[in-house]
Amino acid sequence: MWHIDEIVKAVKGIPLSIEREFFTAISTDSRSIQDGDLFIPLSGNNFDGHAFIPLAYDKSHGGSLCEKGREDIAKSAKGTIILVDNTLGPYRPCEIQKKADESQVYRHYRKQRKDYDKRNTHPYYKK
């Protein structure tokens, strides 16, 4: 379980709105998100997870990370919204990742992170 303060500190984010202070898990898939999860919208070549922030909230009644500059989507969304520089950032070692190691969601994160590393399409992953 993660407290909002831990998440904000770990992702170096800024809370835009706070509706929920505790999250049970982290999810990047709005189709399988569970009640109380924090949604991390990923953007790739063929999709933009930010479009699914409202849907993720409807299913989880939790919250979401949102990239700065995308506040237009975040302001219309309900729930806890944390603004970050890059939603892919939490995939690198940080407090959330250490805790995610202990959760069932970790395998999902690890696979997606490897896929991004292999494609090396996102500037965050270029060395």
Alpha helices in the chain (DSSP H): 4-11, 53-60, 71-76, 95-100, 106-119
Between CA 77 and CA 80 the distance in angstroms is 9
The pLDDT score that the predictor gives to residue 2 is 82
Read off the amino acid at residue 121.
Answer: T
Show pLDDT as tens, one digit a residue, over the chain (127 residues): 888 998 898 888 999 999 999 998 888 888 899 999 999 998 877 888 899 999 999 999 999 999 988 888 877 888 999 999 888 775 544 445 555 555 545 555 566 666 655 555 555 545 5
pTM: 0.69
Q: Can you list the domains of the chain with their CATH numbers?
A: 2-125 (3.40.1390.10)
